Amino acid sequence: MAKIKIKYVCNQCGAISPKWGGQCTDCGKWNCLVEQLEARKEPTSGRFAGYAGDENKLQILADVKQNDCPRIGTHLNELDRVLGGGLVPGSVVLIGGDPGIGKSTILLQAMCRLSQTLKCIYVTGEESAEQISMRAKRLGLEGDKLSLLTETKVETIIATAHLNQPQVMVIDSIQTIYTDYLQSAPGGVAQVRESTAQLVRFAKQKGIALFVVGHVTKDGALAGPRVLEHMVDAVLYFEGERDGRYRILRAVKNRFGAVNELGVFAMTEEGLKEVQNPSAIFLSRYQQASAGSVVTVIWEGSRPLLVEVQALVDEAHGSHPKRVAVGLDQNRLSMLLAVLSRHGGVFCHDQDIFLNVVGGVKIMETSVDLAQLLAIVSSLKNQVLPQNLIVMGEIGLAGEIRPVPNGQERLKEASKHGFKVAIIPKSNAPKKPIKGIEVKAVDNLQQALEMLSEI
């Protein structure tokens, strides 16, 4: 049997020490030694240590058989979409987000529904069983078949799961779980890494679909070691304001589906409700048209979404004009303003510029470049753009407008929501007309600005 031994590794230079010290003797850094487990095995006899015989373990990729793995539906369509179609048996899903944003709520809803047909265990290390029961009652959930376990020791959790053989299990949260093999407090780097490793191994061996809740830091990143995200099969992030109504669940890693897939939920008194048509939320515009408002189509995972980009341009009263972008890349905004000045002839060096994406969506792609600049020009000139106008396109440093992926699907989504005119890159112009929408294809930024006066 392998002997369990503890070693201390410097997280700065990787030096190994047999005991803890305040300072690393190799690099001189302070408070950088982290506990780790080391399993020592007795060397085997033979010429090569670890030689197991003549059995050939190599396989040809084309000869590997693929077993059909049915997915488990969570009865929440938006959650299933983000997961890539449902839960895969033996998969480990990490869910992160700010405190109070709805991580425990959505998992409790899913587990109560899954427990009606599957064997499920909800492990909580932060709340008591009474608190979980009160929440389920408040949300109107049926918890008559859901098993609860209030435990923080990972060995006890695994032993209980091994005895009951669940099909789906939740760990809420991983920062409260600890192992007896380490002396550090729960939530530490070593404890989180080792506890997660044990849970992942157990889930893979038994084919259990495992949800793991993770805390986030003040910067919005998952707390604990970065290796935690590499160990799991999928990483989901909750986005949105805690005092806002809508929550966005985004997949930033998924071995069984598309990354950047997005699910939208509305927080109500009965928990998180799915939003079937997110574009309708993000397009909640005022009845009276205003300058600085442009609608664009972004691509999230496997579907298009219509969002409204708002711009406010005002005369700067200080020596350094402000550049604020909420939901957009602020560095890219500075670049686009330089392109607007050089190739569009519109100067904003003495103006404060504020950009916002309605609904709290964070846009990662460059297809919104043209919409940003047209919204800025609209606000600067106080020119109201038609509400049935859609704009999309990436802008290069030479002022050229580059194509965006999935252009046809974006136009069809815009047409479905009643948009009549679209300013798009020339490379995205459809070969066949799309019913209900007039396409105006442009090559460069100057053509797009001239197009505004013709609409």
Q: Phi and psi (nearest 5°) for 153? A: -85, 120
Tokens 């910067």 sit on residue? 219
Looking at residue 44, its pLDDT comes to: 46
Q: What is the mean pLDDT of residues 333-339?
A: 95
Looking at residue 1, its pLDDT comes to: 45
**Using H for helix, E for strand and C for coil, what is the string for 201-226?**
HHHHHHCCEEEEEECECCCCCECCCC
Q: Phi and psi (nearest 5°) for 8? A: -120, 125
Looking at 49-53, 182-186, 307-311, which range is the least confident one?
Answer: 49-53
To the nearest whole percent, how much of the chain has pLDDT over 90?
56
Q: What is the mean pLDDT of residues 62-85?
A: 87
- Give the tens place of pLDDT for each residue, 13-60: 767 888 888 888 888 888 888 777 765 454 444 444 454 555 567 888
Looking at residue 216, its pLDDT comes to: 79
Strands 246-254 and 262-268: antiparallel
* Cβ atoms 362, 389 nearer than 8 A: no
**Which CATH number applies to 281-454?**
3.30.230.10
Looking at residue 307, its pLDDT comes to: 92
- Tell me: pLDDT of 450 over 70: yes
Looking at residue 284, its pLDDT comes to: 60
To the nearest whole percent, how much of the chain has pLDDT over 70?
91
Residue 328 class from Cβ within 10 Å (0-12 exposed, 13-18 middle, 19+ buried)?
buried
Q: Where are the domains of the chain?
A: 1-42, 77-276, 281-454
Buried b (16+ CB within 10 A) or exposed e, 44-68: eeeeeeeeeeeeeeeeeeeeeeeee
Question: Which tokens sit at 169?
Answer: 């299990």
User: How crowded is residue 241: how many other Cβ atoms within 10 Å of its Cβ?
Assistant: 11
Model confidence at 286, pLDDT cuts 50, 70, 90, reads low
Q: Which of 61-70, 200-209, 253-262 has the highest mean pLDDT?
A: 200-209
- Give the tens place of pLDDT for each residue, 49-64: 454 555 567 888 888 8
* More reliable by pLDDT, 188 or 93: 93
Q: What contacts 122, CB < 8 A, 6 or more positions away?
A: 107, 108, 111, 132, 146, 147, 148, 149, 169, 170, 172
Question: Distance between CA 366 and CA 392 in Å, rounded?
Answer: 9
Q: What is the mean pLDDT of residues 138-160?
A: 94
Looking at residue 43, its pLDDT comes to: 47
Class of domain 77-276: alpha beta
For the whole model, what pTM was predicted? 0.76
Strand, helix or coil for residue 43: coil
Q: What is the mean pLDDT of residues 436-452?
A: 93
Model confidence at 340, pLDDT cuts 50, 70, 90, reads very high
Strands 401-402 and 394-395: antiparallel
Question: Which tokens sit at 444?
Answer: 């460069």
Question: Residues 292, 331, 261, CA angle at the centre, nearest 5°?
Answer: 80
User: What's the chain's average pLDDT?
Assistant: 87
Q: What is the mean pLDDT of residues 364-379?
A: 95
Residue 115 class from Cβ within 10 Å (0-12 exposed, 13-18 middle, 19+ buried)?
buried
Q: What is the mean pLDDT of residues 379-385?
A: 93
Q: What is the mean pLDDT of residues 159-173?
A: 95
For residue 94, which amino acid is it? L
